[in-house]
Chain A
Amino acid sequence: MDNNLAKMKKVAGKPKIRVASLGMYCPGCHYGIISRVICEVIEELGVEGKAIGLAGVGCSFGGAPMTIDIDWTSCPHGRAPAMATAIKRIHPDATVLTVQGDGDLGAIGLGCFMNALLRGEKLTTIFLNNAVYGTTGGQMAPTTLLGMKTTTTPVGRTIETNGYPLHLPEIAATMKGVAYAARCTVHTPANFKKAKKSLKKAIQKQIDGIGYGIVEFVSACPPGWKLDPLQCLDYISEKMLDEYPLGEFKNVDKIE
C-alpha cells in the first residue's frame, strides 16, 4: 500500500454497487464495462434501493446478478419481459430492469418482448448485442452479420438460409408504448459517456411513468468472434457499426 495515496483523492474506481469479485466474463468482454455503466447510472439516479434486475439466459445470467448489488432474479430464456411486467405491476414504485442478450431477447424472447412493448409497460431493457450466442460457444444469433462466420454458419451467414440481421431498437421505436429506443457502444471512452447518458434517459422514462425504454449495446465477444480484445474494438468500429448505426431512434416525454 502506497503512503502517497493519503495525499490524493480517488477520482475513479469500482462503483459503489459493483460487487468486487472475479467476474465470470471472458477477458475483454464488454459486459464488464456495461455493468459499470449500469451501476453508475443506478447510483446517479439514486434508485439503488428500489431497483430490481432480471437477467436473461446466457452471459447475462451469471454476470449481472453476481456483480451488481441490487435485487436480482434470473429468468427462463426469453421470458424476462413477462416476469418484469408482473413485478412492475405489483411494485409500481420499483425500478425494474431486464438485462438480456441477442438470443434471449431477439430469438426465443421476441414474442414476450414485443407484447410487453405493445402493453407499454414502464420497464427498461438493456439489450446486449454481440452478434453471437456467447455462452453456448459462438453460434449464430439473430444479430449475426451477413457473411459472419459462427459455429452454426461455418461458411458465413447467408440471406437464403438465415435471413437478415435483427434491428431491435428501430423496431421498438415504431411502437406507441415505447418512450425511448437507442443504440450505443462502450468500445471507446467517448462512447462510454454517451452510453451512460442514453441509459440514464431510458431509466428516467420509467421513473417518470412515461413508457418502455430499450438501450442496445453493441459489444464484443472475443471467444465468439475468435479475436483478441483489441482486435474486437476494430471489428466493432469497422463492421458492427456499419450494420448497427448508433443513435436515438425514439425519445418522447409523453405518449399521445
Chain B
Amino acid sequence: MDLVGLNQDSVFIGQAVGYPGTAMFNTLKNVPAEKRMEFPVAEELQLGVSLGLCLAGKNVVSIYPRWNFLLLAMNQLVNHVDKRAELFRASTKSRALIIRTSVGSERPLHPKSQHVGDFSYPVALMCPNVKVVKLENPSEIVHAYEEALRASDRAATILVEYGDFYNEK
C-alpha cells in the first residue's frame, strides 16, 4: 500500500480506509490521510465512482473487504469497468483501477458461507478485460501492485487476498 500511496495521483477508496481499528486500516496506515477516502456502504456507487475518478485522472485502489460484498458492484464491474476501452476509449487508458478484495478467514473463527466466497474464476470468465490475481504468497504482493499500476492494456486489476494467510504466511 505504501508503494501505491507514493504515487502522486493515487487515491484509496472504501470502508475502514480512514478510521483505525480494523485489519484493513492497518495496511493503509502509512498512506497519507488525504489519499484515503472513507466511503459509505454503497458497493455499486463505490465502483462507479472509482471508475469516474480514473476518468478524472486518478489511480484508484477500490477496496471491498470480501468477494461477497464486491458482488453487489457487479453491474459496474461487468458492464462498465470491463468495457472501459469501448465505452471510454483512450480517455482512461493511462490510469489504473485496482480492486482489492479478499476471501474471509476461516480460522480461528468461521464467518459462514456469506463471507468466504471466492469468485475469482467466474469473474475472470465474465470480465475478459479485467485481470484477476490471487495473492497466495506474501512475496507476490509488491510485484502485483507494481504491475497493476503500470498496466495500460487492461481495464482493471482485481487483487484477491486470503484472510487466513495474514496469520499463516
Are A and B subunits of one complex?
no
Q: Mark A residues whose CB is within 8 Å of B.
A: none
Q: Mark B residues whose CB is within 8 Å of A.
A: none
